[in-house]
Amino acid sequence: MASSTKTKYLVLGANGFVGGYLTEQFATLPNVEVRAFDRYSSAPRFTLSDSITVIKGDIFNDQELKRAIKEADYVIHSFSATTPFISDNDPYVDVRDNLLRSIQVFETCVAENIKKVGFISSGGAVYGTLAEKKVVDEEDAPAPVSPYGINKLAIEHYMKYFKRKYGMEYVVYRLSNPYGPRQVTKQSQGAIPLFLEKIMNGQEITIYGDGTMSRDYIYMEDAARMIVKSFEQGRQTLYNIGCGEQTSLNEILDELRDLFRKNIRVKYVEAPKTFLQRTDISIERYSEEFGEPSLTPMGTGLAALIQKWRSENQ
């Protein structure tokens, strides 16, 4: 355990889309050092500051991982080796690279007496078909239908196990559908970056279904603020993180038409049977404990995303 007077947060997967925003937001806290752990095959995707220490390492290297955890007070597990698309096509890699490694992370956290472990789970994927039928809250029993959601839920259950057996304090964040600048467009990581890439390249967008399929979309910077605000002082071990509202694919397209001021070519095709029509989550637990979160309107968030994309591709 670190003896420094600064509180040390270790973010695993810090150079990912979610991890980068968490790194920045934890760094805004007073008297902290955020240890940003990742492979860094590219330059840091977050804004550096005096409160952030970049640690280049491989989460699958036992010694590098143990060394990073050993020097931390808190650990934020935002690492994922897969996407929903990858998991659906190869569930074995999800179990091997995400579930097994998460268990090993928790074992190391227990051995190093980490004060609390945070895990970024998935709202829509974990609740599954239940979120199509009702607005789900944290007391509802999950019903995942995809390998990605099943795996996320399994990691959550292992956190409960480590709490019961070893006393490991933890908090799970079931994150809805985050979007925003820095989101990768080429790895099936959400409809919004995929739409943007197609529009920028003058290509036709394919919509599965009639476009009424909806999700809870949250601007990632807003989500990161919610997580950081609740991490140390939260009274619960599970929080839904989202905006609490549904936005359809057609509504996103309308926003993009307004922002680009151009016609967007769209083709509608039959949706696969495994697709969920909606994933509706409640953020009432979070709001009751920490107040209503400040949320970025969809049009404002999309405009920021477009501006960032253009600046990187000029």
Instruction: Locate the domains of the chain by residue range.
Output: 7-178+218-241, 180-216+245-279+296-312
Residues 27, 35 contacting (CB under 8 angstroms): no
On the question of pLDDT at 119 being above 80, the answer is yes
pLDDT in tens, 143-170: 998 899 999 999 999 999 999 999 999 9
CB atoms within 10 A of CB 311: 9
What predicted TM-score, i.e. pTM, was given to this entire model?
0.95
Q: Measure CA 10 to chain center.
A: 16
pLDDT in tens, 186-220: 655 689 999 998 998 899 999 999 999 999 999 99
pLDDT in tens, 60-118: 999 999 999 999 999 999 998 887 778 878 888 889 999 999 999 999 999 999 999 99
CATH superfamily of 180-216+245-279+296-312: UDP-galactose 4-epimerase, domain 1 (3.90.25.10)
Question: For residue 156, which of 38, 274, 77, 74 has the smallest C-alpha distance?
Answer: 77
38 vs 36: CA distance, rounded Å: 7
CATH superfamily of 7-178+218-241: NAD(P)-binding Rossmann-like Domain (3.40.50.720)
Helices (H), strands (E): how many in the chain? 13, 14
